[in-house]
Amino acid sequence: MRRFRRFIIAVGIMAALLMVFGQFSDPETPVESGSTLLFELSGAFVEVSEPSVVARLMGDSSRPFASLLSELRKAERDDRLAAVVFRIRDLQIGWGKAQELRSAIQAIDAAGRRTVAFVELAGLSGNLEYFVASAASEVHSSPANAGSLLGLAAEFFFFGGMWEKLGVGLEVEASGA
């Protein structure tokens, strides 16, 4: 039992040292005036500020959505940047996060930075990715894309008189003019 306890403590100390030295080993790269910043947008983003230490040790590679928005705001305010390029792949986010991401890209464009979106889709549906990319001043797509960028689409089901047969009705209330 003592050996196991010592082993767990040693592993914990090693993990803590790796995390500490991993944060300080990468020196800050200077950004020159007229630089271009590349954002890779793909996968899922979680609604937490930072994944827990246990989650990171278990290999959780999810990225916090709040930190992405923070980085986009920094790019909006950084006068050294001439352009911001977005490489957009399969996004596993909802339409609310897509709208926030799109608004952040529009804010960068409104701040005078050139915004370019490069869309790389593997699947046939790319409405969400195209919606996010359309905020940029330029949208490019690879000829090898499986998805088509024809525009946004919505699908609605027509149930005929099913709701009336089930006894479901519509109630409308209004106030004012």
Q: Which residue has the tokens 């799109």?
A: 102
The predicted structure's pLDDT at residue 107: 93
pLDDT digits (tens, 9 = 90+) for 3-33: 888 888 888 888 777 766 665 555 666 777 8
Q: What are the residue ranges of helices labelled H in 25-141?
A: 53-57, 65-77, 95-110, 127-133
35-150 placed in CATH 3.90.226.10: yes
Domain boundaries, the chain: 35-150
Strand blocks (E) in 10-163: 35-43, 45-46, 63-64, 81-91, 114-119, 138-141
Give me 143's structure tokens: 């000829």
Q: Which positions of the chain have pLDDT values less than 70?
A: 19-29, 49-53, 55-56, 59-62, 122-125, 145-154
